[in-house]
Structure 1
Amino acid sequence: MTQTKTSPKLHHETTVIKSAIISRLIVLTLILLWRTLLSPYDTSAPINPNCLSNNSSQPNVDLQQQQHVLLPSLGSAIESSIVWDSVYFVRIAQCGYEYEQTYAFFPLLPLCISLLSRTVLAPLVPVIGQRAVLGLSGFVINNIAFVIVAVYLYRLSVIILKDHDAALRASILFCFNPASIFYSSIYSETLYALFSVGGLYHLISGKDVIAVLWFALSGFSRSNGIINAGYFCFQTMHQAYDAVFLRKRAFLALQVVVGGALRCICIFVPFVAFQAYGYNNICLGHLPNNMSPWCKARVPLLYNYIQSHYWGVGFLRYFQVKQLPNFLLASPILSLALCSIVHYAKLKPEIFFSLGFCAPPEHKDSAAVFFSFAENSSNSRENCNLKARKQVTKDGTSLLPEEYKLSAKQGYLSAAVLPCILHLGFMAATAFFVMHVQVATRFLSFSPPLYWFASYIMKSPGTGKRWGYIVWAYSAAYFLLGSLLFSNFYPFT
């Protein structure tokens, strides 16, 4: 009996792992193919000047090793694949933070690359060279991490959607997502997705301490990791509401608020620590006239200054006619995000617009994942749900019984999806109004609601099959286009 119950999940997990591995092999094969058939737009990838550190012996040793490697052609091929932001991550892993603009790239991935290249892959240095080993370390880390992300997404989806088949569809969609090229390159998206999705899984599993650690690590890999603190803010808000208004325990509410605040602070620590590290290296010990402008600010935030000064990031600063092609490039992922949010808000307005405070009692089990309802609190929410339950037809039957009858079948429309929807909405708005909009494809690609919604509409009656073709066509087109353009140093996202 036990084996029968667990076999679908185990079988699906195996399928997800196979799909993730196959998708990574396809991406890497396409990279090799396009690099072989086409000439890169920029051939400067192998250039690697000496490190600027005072310890000049290390660069010379690296150069000597590079000149006497056993397989120089293989090492050169790996180095040629280090393009775009990958150059920064490998350079930081090799030389540390040398320039002000390099602080836009958070240290978790460079630290992992450096650690792996100095331990497990260290014997390969005489074979392919130091920089090639650093690049290989980045590829190994991200491709292995991607498989783990896919498994976490499946497990998370099973808990929230309560549907193994829908969870499987969503996870396979993620394995072939439009930003796949970045998950197999030396970019921070993979580690960020690992610790964001993994942290969310641990949070809904009741492991708050582990969730805090994972969310903190997501903030150590990318700046937007601090937004994951919003999940704890959401949970704390509902716990405090229950404590004050439903259970009439003010002291318990205070404990809840303090506990939630401490968890959020822990998630902010990596970001703040990295800003302090940059301030110490760039600002301290310099005369005021020689300081960078951000050093003199009341709240010196290095990251905001770099994004604005070097990359022109800011509210509505990208709204220019010449950037229209980039808006078109990002339009599919932004449209999918907008549709997922609007669809949820339209079909579940009582949940969406009340931020879950007036979730129908049929949603209690799924909502408890984030709202942390007390066992006896369902009756206390009668006032919120009274109006909905009093809506009856002329024959006295409820207008909404069929929609809420089976809470286990709510899937994408369950109350537990709401915090993820709000998170996606904030991220999508940031990508559209503040960032370089073409980055939205990879910026939003980790977000679970995108894949839950796509999985949901694929099984919708009527037009579901057509939408399924559209979603898969979009993913396949960007999958191929990304591997072609990105690997040959052409702009993509």
Structure 2
Amino acid sequence: MLSIKEHPITRLFQTFILVKVSQLALVYFTPVQFDTSTQLLLRTSYQTSKEVYINSYNSVLKPFVGSIIDNIIEKLVVWDVVYFADLFVNEIKYEHQFVFCPLWWRLIKLVSKVNRTPTNFYQLFIVSLWMSNILHFASVLMIWKLTKTVFNQSLGKFFNKDRISITSGITYILSPGAGFLTSSYSENACAFLCFTGLYLREISMNYENFNLKNSKLSIKDWRCYLLSGIFFAISYGMRANTLLLGIVYLYDLYVFSIKNHSQKDSLWSIISGSFLFTSLLVSNIYTYTVFCTGDLSPVWCSNTIPSLFQYAQGNYWNNGFLSYWTSNNIPNFLFALPTISISMISFKFFLIEYPMLKLLPILLVNSAVLVGGIFFWNTQILTRITTFLPIINWTLSIMILNYDRQSYFVKGFLYYLIIWNIVHVTLFAAFLPPA
């Protein structure tokens, strides 16, 4: 698994294909769906689209295409994908739809227009599956590249950058996101943008003498630094939790202004962070103008901060402080427990055992995600929304490479990744929790 004799990208691609084929096989052989609402929706609203799509193939391929649609494609239209898939072919209608990752479904519409893809439900959904999985592999390549850059020669006494980078890529392929990263969720697009942004920030920084004793930090390439902010701003349109990446620029501003007294670098951090803030501002202004400028305005329009996203999260998904802390949600906390555990271990690794102060801003973002997931959100989503940060993969890779591989914890977590991928993909295809 950890040999790097062949080209790393080849190894990553082979592993990626093996995992994806295995996941799709699990979907295919999942016998029935527990929740039949999607099947009813597809039969009543898109049966004609299905027949048109199948009939577009010749008589030899029709049975094969029909089997793939029945046993794979339709089983992937579950949970939030139902909303995305509807928006691929229909205009946005309802209040809660405005919070569903607006850039993701618009990207699919844009790609379909460029390729002149017919506005057929099944055709567009298959395009979205291709896009999602291509972006998953692109994210694997970006975390590989980012890892090689972060764990450079100056840290060779702790890490072999080639081994840790390919191991991080492999663990990302086996991410706890599992079925979510194979279906048409926006997580893959979000991760690709975030990893690219983190990479651009990394290569823009001068880490001369930057360690626990002497934290000298400066910007050596302002163009890449500004581009990182643009990528983070775009990622916000894919998943709103990436707003927390603004912590990175707040950290930079603190170091540049308070510690280094550098006005120029402080200005760059403010400008880069403002891109992300602008994304937040534009999205809120847009929904406000849509809903709150007419005679009949929704109740949230009169709030002190009239945010549709904040209202929808509380009203439709029951998000709020400790609102998820009920006995019936104990299984959902257990689903997220491995992700929470490895995230917490990362603090010990990168601040005490393998001190890397330059990872502190990413650790701070990871902390904010954990606090939100444990105390405010639907906790089980941590298995997929943490995929926009590389911390879990770096921590696990270090455990594999630098610890005793026979230790119960390391072996247990590796078994967990494999078994959880099998279990979750099967549950996902059967339309069973976790969502």
Give the TM-score, by structure 1 length. 0.74
Task: Tell me which residue corresponds to 1:82.
Answer: 77
Distance (Å, rounded) in 1 between the aligned partners of 2:333 and 2:349: 22
Partner SS state of residue 459, structure 1: helix
The 5 Å alignment of 1:83-122 reads 83-120=78-115, 122=117
Task: Tell me which residue corresponds to 1:440.
Answer: 382
Note if contact 1:97-1:103 (Cα within 8 Å) is conserved in structure 2: yes
Task: Tell me which residue corresponds to 2:166.
Answer: 168
Q: Decide whether aligned partners of structure 1 residues 195 and 68 sit closer, same or farther in structure 2, where only a CA change above 3 A counts.
A: closer
Alpha-carbon shift at residue 65 of structure 1 (Å): 5.3
- Cα deviation 1:211-232 (Å, max 9, x = unaligned): 1221111111011121112222
Q: Decide whether aligned partners of structure 1 residues 180 and 80 sit closer, same or farther in structure 2, where only a CA change above 3 A counts.
A: closer
Note if contact 1:188-1:221 (Cα within 8 Å) is conserved in structure 2: yes
Distance (Å, rounded) in 2 between the aligned partners of 1:317 and 1:260: 35
Higher mean alpha-carbon deviation, 132-141 vs 275-284, is at 275-284
Task: Tell me which residue corresponds to 2:419.
Answer: 477
Amino acid at match of 1:21: I
Note if contact 1:149-1:193 (Cα within 8 Å) is conserved in structure 2: yes
Partner SS state of residue 341, structure 1: helix
**Of residues 264, 283, 287 in structure 2, which corresponds to 1:278?**
287
Partner SS state of residue 201, structure 2: helix
Structure 1 gaps of 5+ residues are: 1-7, 51-58, 245-251, 348-411
Task: Tell me which residue corresponds to 1:491.
Answer: 433
Task: Tell me which residue corresponds to 1:387.
Answer: none
Note if contact 2:251-2:361 (Cα within 8 Å) is conserved in structure 1: yes
Distance (Å, rounded) in 2 between the aligned partners of 1:284 and 1:48: 33
Task: Tell me which residue corresponds to 2:122.
Answer: 132
Distance (Å, rounded) in 1 between the aligned partners of 2:32 and 2:339: 29
Task: Tell me which residue corresponds to 1:54.
Answer: none
Q: Decide whether aligned partners of structure 1 residues 49 and 471 sit closer, same or farther in structure 2, where only a CA change above 3 A counts.
A: closer
Distance (Å, rounded) in 2 between the aligned partners of 1:428 and 1:234: 18
Partner SS state of residue 151, structure 1: helix
Task: Tell me which residue corresponds to 1:451.
Answer: 393
Alpha-carbon shift at residue 463 of structure 1 (Å): 6.2
- Cα deviation 1:415-442 (Å, max 9, x = unaligned): 2222222221111111111111111111
Higher mean alpha-carbon deviation, 332-341 vs 25-34, is at 25-34
**Of residues 228, 231, 236 in structure 2, which corresponds to 1:214?**
231
Task: Tell me which residue corresponds to 1:143.
Answer: 133
Distance (Å, rounded) in 2 between the aligned partners of 1:194 and 1:64: 35
Note if contact 1:94-1:134 (Cα within 8 Å) is conserved in structure 2: yes
- Cα deviation 1:156-187 (Å, max 9, x = unaligned): 11111232111211211111112121111111
Partner SS state of residue 413, structure 1: coil
Q: Decide whether aligned partners of structure 1 residues 276 and 217 sit closer, same or farther in structure 2, where only a CA change above 3 A counts.
A: same
The 5 Å alignment of 1:228-377 reads 228-244=245-261, 252-253=262-263, 255-287=264-296, 291-347=297-353
Distance (Å, rounded) in 2 between the aligned partners of 1:20 and 1:214: 25
Distance (Å, rounded) in 1 between the aligned partners of 2:146 and 2:134: 19
Note if contact 1:88-1:102 (Cα within 8 Å) is conserved in structure 2: yes
Task: Tell me which residue corresponds to 1:152.
Answer: 142
**Of residues 38, 50, 56 in structure 2, which corresponds to 1:45?**
38
Alpha-carbon shift at residue 63 of structure 1 (Å): 7.7
Q: Decide whether aligned partners of structure 1 residues 345 and 205 sit closer, same or farther in structure 2, where only a CA change above 3 A counts.
A: closer
Structure 2 gaps of 5+ residues are: 56-61, 153-160, 205-223
Q: Decide whether aligned partners of structure 1 residues 130 and 161 sit closer, same or farther in structure 2, where only a CA change above 3 A counts.
A: same
Please tell me the root mean square deviation across aligned C-alpha atoms, in Å: 2.5
Distance (Å, rounded) in 1 between the aligned partners of 2:402 and 2:49: 59
Task: Tell me which residue corresponds to 1:359.
Answer: none
Give the TM-score, by structure 2 length. 0.84
Note if contact 2:226-2:268 (Cα within 8 Å) is conserved in structure 1: no
Task: Tell me which residue corresponds to 1:22.
Answer: 18
Note if contact 1:79-1:131 (Cα within 8 Å) is conserved in structure 2: no
Partner SS state of residue 432, structure 2: coil
Q: Decide whether aligned partners of structure 1 residues 9 and 217 sit closer, same or farther in structure 2, where only a CA change above 3 A counts.
A: farther
**Of residues 344, 366, 369 in structure 2, which corresponds to 1:424?**
366
Decide which structure has the larger Cα Rg and report it. 1
